[in-house]
């Protein structure tokens, strides 16, 4: 009689772990070999990964689909402008701003998390629209005219570019690590239980609301970082650009295509989005139609996304966030359960 084996990683996942470290190292030294334009593009990619991972944390793991996440993107940029204007170092402002965004998201969560599904989705959109209007009232911002992160101009162009690049890389790595740690830790079990069946999770004592709130605040903070970094790369702040629902559309596209509810899927989705934008971004409106249509098609035909589908078919798992339970194949089956259950290795929270 063989014993049930519980393992956290696979051989592939251990190799993947080393691979991740190598990739981060490579990315850190990459600017030495890249043109200025390429450095800016890769910085954008890092920001996309943050956005995708954070929206995925909220929707894929917390079951909270929001179409108002642009509120945190816009606020991240707005508070950075405000802080820098008050005399704080512009680079420091970026992160203090994100902390403020995270703090603001807490009271918002008390309120919004009581809404369900579609009501939450549009409710967040109302919050974003209202915040946009309120930011417009700030005299510093001058309505839709906007303003700039002028204090960043004291640094010369190349220092600025490199610093932002490294900050974006560090932010992305840190946020992904936080999410990964969260999913692997005890909270992760709760998160996956909620993802699979919220009511059942609540009935066995999982702190559903507390866990969701944690994900909501993390996502707000992460998207705040992304908004502040975007401001740093583009210098100018126009409320209309930052509080645009298009940011959420991008997040949804990336996560839906990559694989909602999978850690790797969001990263894959961001990478694909980056490539599509690089190749087709110039086609303007058709590019946007394509994004919408692709998101629509994935939601109907491949709702698990690319990574989710591959993972399901081949049992892939590069960055294991759960446990794998391998049931002994020849265990005597007295309960009458289907034998199919015993032969597949299933991931259990």
Binding site for another protein (CB under 8 A): 59, 63, 65, 67, 111, 114-119, 121-123, 125-127, 129-130, 133-134, 136-137, 143, 245, 249, 252, 256, 285-286, 288-289, 291-297, 299-300, 303, 336-338, 340-341
CB of 25 to another protein, least distance (A): 36
CB of 249 to another protein, least distance (A): 6
The CA distance from 304 to 262, in Å, is 9
CB of 260 to another protein, least distance (A): 8
Q: Which is nearer to another protein, 143 or 181 (CB)?
A: 143
Q: Which is nearer to another protein, 190 or 295 (CB)?
A: 295
Structure tokens at 131: 């915040």
> Counting every residue, how long is the chain?
349
- Using CB atoms within 10 Å of the CB of residue 156, give its burial: 0 to 12 exposed, 13 to 18 middle, 19+ buried: exposed
The CA distance from 181 to 173, in Å, is 12
CB of 248 to another protein, least distance (A): 8
CB of 207 to another protein, least distance (A): 16
The CA distance from 329 to 245, in Å, is 50
Q: Which is nearer to another protein, 233 or 294 (CB)?
A: 294
Q: Which is nearer to another protein, 3 or 285 (CB)?
A: 285
Element (H, E) at 237: strand 236-237
What residues are paired with 347 via a beta bridge?
324
CA-based radius of gyration for the chain: 21
The CA distance from 132 to 80, in Å, is 15
- Give the 3-state secondary structure of residue 323: strand
Structure tokens at 124: 């967040």
- Give the 3-state secondary structure of residue 5: strand
Helix H segments across the chain? 11-29, 36-56, 70-85, 90-112, 117-137, 157-184, 186-196, 198-203, 208-234, 239-242, 246-258, 263-280, 285-301, 305-314, 340-343
Estimate to the nearest angstrom the gap between the alpha carbon of 276 and the chain centroid.
18
Q: Which is nearer to another protein, 137 or 204 (CB)?
A: 137
Q: Which is nearer to another protein, 129 or 349 (CB)?
A: 129
Q: Which is nearer to another protein, 66 or 93 (CB)?
A: 66
CB of 220 to another protein, least distance (A): 18
CB of 138 to another protein, least distance (A): 12
């Amino acid at each position: 009689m063989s014993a049930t084996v519980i393992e956290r990683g696979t051989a592939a996942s251990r190799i993947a772990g080393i691979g991740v470290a190598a990739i981060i190292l490579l990315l850190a030294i990459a600017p030495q070999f890249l043109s200025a334009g390429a450095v800016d593009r890769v910085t954008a990619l890092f920001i996309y990964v943050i956005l995708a991972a954070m929206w995925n944390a909220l929707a894929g793991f917390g079951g909270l689909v929001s179409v108002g996440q642009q509120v945190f993107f816009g606020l991240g940029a707005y508070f950075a402008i405000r802080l820098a204007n008050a005399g704080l170092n512009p680079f420091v402002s970026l992160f203090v701003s994100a902390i403020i965004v995270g703090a603001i998201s807490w009271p918002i969560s008390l309120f919004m998390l009581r809404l369900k599904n579609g009501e939450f989705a549009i409710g967040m959109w109302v919050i974003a629209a209202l915040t946009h209007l309120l930011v417009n009232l700030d005299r510093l911002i001058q309505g839709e005219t906007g303003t700039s992160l002028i204090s960043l101009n004291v640094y010369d162009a190349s220092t600025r570019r490199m610093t932002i690049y490294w900050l974006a890389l560090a932010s992305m790595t840190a946020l992904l690590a936080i999410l990964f740690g969260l999913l692997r830790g005890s909270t992760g079990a709760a998160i996956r239980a909620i993802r699979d069946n919220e009511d059942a999770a609540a009935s066995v004592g999982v702190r559903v609301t507390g866990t969701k709130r944690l994900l909501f605040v993390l996502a707000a903070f992460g998207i705040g970082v992304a908004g502040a970094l975007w401001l740093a790369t583009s210098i100018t702040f126009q409320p209309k650009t930052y509080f645009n629902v298009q940011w959420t559309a991008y997040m949804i596209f990336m996560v839906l295509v990559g694989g909602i509810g999978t850690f790797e899927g969001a990263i894959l989705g961001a990478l694909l989005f980056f490539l599509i934008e690089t190749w087709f971004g110039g086609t303007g409106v058709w590019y946007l139609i394509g994004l919408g249509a692709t998101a629509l098609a994935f939601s109907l035909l491949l709702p698990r996304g690319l990574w989710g589908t591959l993972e399901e078919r081949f049992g892939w798992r590069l960055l294991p966030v759960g446990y794998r339970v391998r049931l002994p194949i020849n265990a005597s089956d007295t309960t009458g359960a289907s034998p199919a259950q015993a032969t597949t290795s299933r991931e259990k929270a």
